[in-house]
Chains A and B, each alone.
Chain A
Amino acid sequence: MISNPGTSMPAETSLLVASLIDAGTAAIRTNADALGDLDRAIGDGDHGVNMLRGFAAIAEAREAICALPLSSALEEMGKLLVMNVGGASGPLYGSLLLAMGRAGAGGNASLAKMLEEGIAAVKKRGRSDRGEKTMLDVLIPVQLAFAQACAEGAAVRDAIERVKRAAREGLESTRPMLATKGRASYLKERSIGHLDPGACSSSLLVHAACDAFLESTKP
């Protein structure tokens, strides 16, 4: 049982990786149509099928990925998203996982540090930041909530609840925003009043990762 989520990952992470893959794939499968609908409203409508294609590739490689240490598993998942998604979300989610994996290589970095590095990579790749109606409006508050929970030495369950709340609130915060990045920015003020599809998939995946983390740390 992990008492403090800020400390390094356990040496044996295959169960965690398996849970992450299963929960992430299930979240995308269940919500692919909804993601497509959100994207049709303010984009090109392919976010659901694109994410589905990416996660299908990850699910197909599940066994091989689970044999890897966590950092390499994250990198491998990132590569599969880059190569299979077929839209901008591929390199964006890919960069997140690749940078998290690289930061975690060697096993000394905390999960909070890995997340910080991953989000820095998304910012760089998308030349974007918080407040532009993108996945960063979920990921940045999630990272801040997690870092604070770690700094306070919060218990795992408490930290996870705070992270999930930050994801939900971050997603909802995109509704009144004016999009200035990606296809939605072509709609200008007509992008206002819609949730951002990338923020939505981020929130879904953060929730899935939280559940997977709890699942794999059950005694």
Chain B
Amino acid sequence: MTDRVSIVIVSHSPDVARGAAAMVRQMVGREVRVAHCGGNPEGGLGTNVAAIKHCIEQVYGPKGVAVLVDLGGAETNSEMAIEMLPKEWQANIVVCSAPVVEGAVMAATEAAGGSSLAKVRATAEEMFR
């Protein structure tokens, strides 16, 4: 599993994050490491920098991590979380500009085949162009 790109799903809604992660697992089983988080620090709709950072730490590997986000705050908070991680990790983590559910499933499917982080990102973002 560590020879695959990992996936992190960040949504404003804990339910959406959980559901998207379930859809990813249905597609790729345990071949790809997936972590998800949703909700502000109190559990309401929003995002949480500490939780995002924790998710990335849980699944980080040498092939890198593709982060799928839903709306603006999820993206901004994910960027902030990435900056708080070790410098040598940062170039190996990308936030994909893709719809969170579809993007996560497509990114994970690409990752399961052993593709590079750049290829995983491109596959997720392709559908949104």
Contacts and interface: CB of A to CB of B under 8 A. Distances in A.
B72 A183 contact: yes
A82 B72 contact: no
Given A82-B80, A86-B40, A91-B80, A44 B49 contact: no
Given A82-B49, A83-B49, A86-B47, A183 B80 contact: no
A86 B76 contact: no
B48 interface: yes
A181 B39 CA distance: 21
A94 interface: yes
Contacts of A94: 80
Contacts of A137: none
B109 interface: no
B115 to A, nearest CB: 28
Interface residues of B, number: 18
A37 to B, nearest CB: 17
Interface string A85-99: 111101110110000
A182 B25 CA distance: 31
A50 interface: yes
Contact of A88 (B41, B44, B48, B72): B72
B71 interface: yes
B1 interface: no
B88 interface: no
B79 A87 contact: no
Given A82-B49, A125-B79, A182 B40 contact: no
Interface string A43-82: 0101001100100000000000000000000000000001
B48 A86 contact: yes
A107 interface: no
Contacts of A14: none
Contacts of B44: 46, 49, 86
A83 B47 CA distance: 10
B73 interface: yes
A183 B77 CA distance: 15
Interface string B84-120: 0000000000000000000000000000000000000
A90 B72 contact: no
A106 B79 CA distance: 27
Interface of A: 44, 46, 49-50, 53, 82-88, 90-92, 94-95, 125-126, 181-183
5 contacts: A83-B49, A86-B42, A88-B72, A91-B79, A91-B80
Q: Return the 10 tightest CB-CB contacts between A and B, nearest first.
A: A86-B40, A86-B46, A88-B73, A91-B80, A88-B76, A87-B73, A91-B76, A88-B72, A86-B41, A87-B46
Given A83-B50, A94-B80, A126-B76, 8 more contacts: A46-B45, A49-B44, A82-B49, A85-B40, A88-B77, A125-B79, A181-B72, A183-B71
